[in-house]
Amino acid sequence: MTTQKNLLGGPDPTHLPENEEAYHLLAEDSLPPAEVVAKFPTFSLAWAMLADDAFEAGRVVESYAYARTGYHRGLDSLRRSGWKGHGPIPWSHRANRGFLRCLAALARAAEAIDEKEEAERCKQFLQDSSAEAYEELKRA
């Protein structure tokens, strides 16, 4: 049996578990993100959607709160998936996108309420976790 080794010397990428039922509720059943969060409070994608909707409506503090909640729920999930506080969290893995979107939303909302240090920390964390997500989400 052969094991894959990360030749760059860093930790292996972390892949969060998929939640097909939550995706189904959002897509096929068209449930609002708030209802999905009520059923699946650890599903960061729904928190990210709430953060984006609130920000677009000018409710920046509410956006900040949603993004922070989804970010922390995502950190908990990452740790349960073996993440040790650093290393790649690939954007290409669908289940990682909710956490990465919450991280970007938190940076955006922190910047909007003049929390400069937190905004910079979040942007750097996003870039360090997934350069692809950083590029994708800075356009949004």
Residue 131 exposure: Cα atoms within 13 Å on the Cβ side:
0
Rounded Cα gap, residues 102 and 79, in angstroms: 16
**Is the four-CA dihedral 16, 17, 18, 21 of positive or negative sign?**
negative
pLDDT band per the 50, 70, 90 thresholds, residue 138: confident
Lookup: tokens for 95? 């289940």
Identify the burial level of 93 via C-beta atoms within 10 angstroms of its C-beta, where 0-12 means exposed, 13-18 middle and 19 or more buried.
Answer: middle
| Closest among 47, 59, 110, 100 to 78, alpha carbons compared | 100
Instruction: Compute the distance between CA of residue 36 and CA of residue 12 in angstroms, rounded to an integer.
Output: 30
Model pTM score:
0.92
Each residue's pLDDT tens digit, 33-62: 999 999 999 999 999 999 999 999 999 999
Report, as an integer, the average pLDDT of 70-79.
97
Query: What Å distances lie between residue 57 and 53, 61, 73, 88, CA to CA?
Result: 6, 11, 24, 32
